[in-house]
Amino acid sequence: FCTCIALRSAASAEPADEAGPAAPGLLRLSLEECIELALKNSRKLVAERHRLDVLDAQLQQAYWKPFSNIGANFFVSAVPDKQAEKVSVQDESGTPHEIWISTDDSPREDIQSFDGPWSPMLRLDVRAAIPLYTFGKYMYGTRALRAANEAKKAQYAQFRQQIRYQVTQAYHAIEGAREMLYTIGKGRGHLNKARKKVERDLENQEGTSTEIDLIKLKVFDNEITQYETQANEIERVGLAGLRFLVGGDDRHRIDVLDVPQSRVDRELEPLTKYKDDALDHRPELQSLRLAIKAMENKVKYRVAEFMPDLVGLLGFRYGFAPGRPDVDFWYLNDRFNVGPSLFFGVSLDYKLDIGLD
């Protein structure tokens, strides 16, 4: 009867449904069908699969992290057209000063290089900063993520085994309770016959029966009633637990196959073998070993963060002003802004963490 307590906790986890349409019918399922539906409809397994997808995405992100500092920019701006050029002249007093001479050779001091029409200027920038040596940060970081991912997969296998165990427990609890009710029904019939015989003998003062024998039979009858009540409770709780575990459409009622409970056709092996297999293959222990491995690599990663990263720098820039190659303008004469340019270098990148976050 301890099974009743475990199944009651599983059944009470599901909230009571509001009154809905009548049940379309009764589904009698085998144990294998119940396990298959429970694994398919388990929301816990769905949530765990999404968590595994998140870890897989984080692992892929870690693989591409060294190439995350590669980018490109494209600039579009404008530069003034050549409307005048600056020359030095002397006034009537002989004092030199600079004026602007327009394209038609007439002096115009009011014309500046920013007056008049403008022309477009285009520039493409490509830059990259790729870690060359990180003192183990990349290696330990990816190892920690891989171990965490494998630990989560081991937990997923554990959850699947738990569902199989709970469904099997509920299924056999229902079958066992019904076998018990059948046996109790048969036994109650024999008890009632014996009780009537004792009562008749006492009334007719025949036989060797006594009042104590009648009291014993009444006590046995009350005990059988108690066992019957417990068996009915186990059956109801088992059906509720099985319905909760199988999931699916709540309008369907779930029941087990109406066949006698069969014996387990399996010989027990030595206890030491089961212990060794449990220590070697239980997913909880496998998950724990992988979690420890992940934490060890995470500690090594944190230690490596005290060292700087050796980063290779590479950049390419090309700018030009279409149709304005003769513009006498300082911005366009700078080879950093116009024309092709290539630069490369090496730097030490050190992230300072003083623990203020």
pLDDT digits (tens, 9 = 90+) for 37-62: 999 988 889 998 998 898 888 888 88
Average the pLDDT over each of 154-163, 180-189, 264-273 and give the range with the smallest value.
264-273
- Helix ranges, the chain (H): 2-12, 31-41, 43-64, 137-204, 211-246, 271-281, 283-304, 330-333
Q: What is the pLDDT of residue 100?
A: 57
pLDDT digits (tens, 9 = 90+) for 90-136: 777 777 877 655 554 444 444 444 555 677 778 889 999 988 898 98
Q: What is the pLDDT of residue 92?
A: 76
Phi, psi of 226 (to 5 degrees): -65, -45
Q: What pTM does this model have?
A: 0.60
CA angle 294, 48, 151 (to 5 degrees): 20
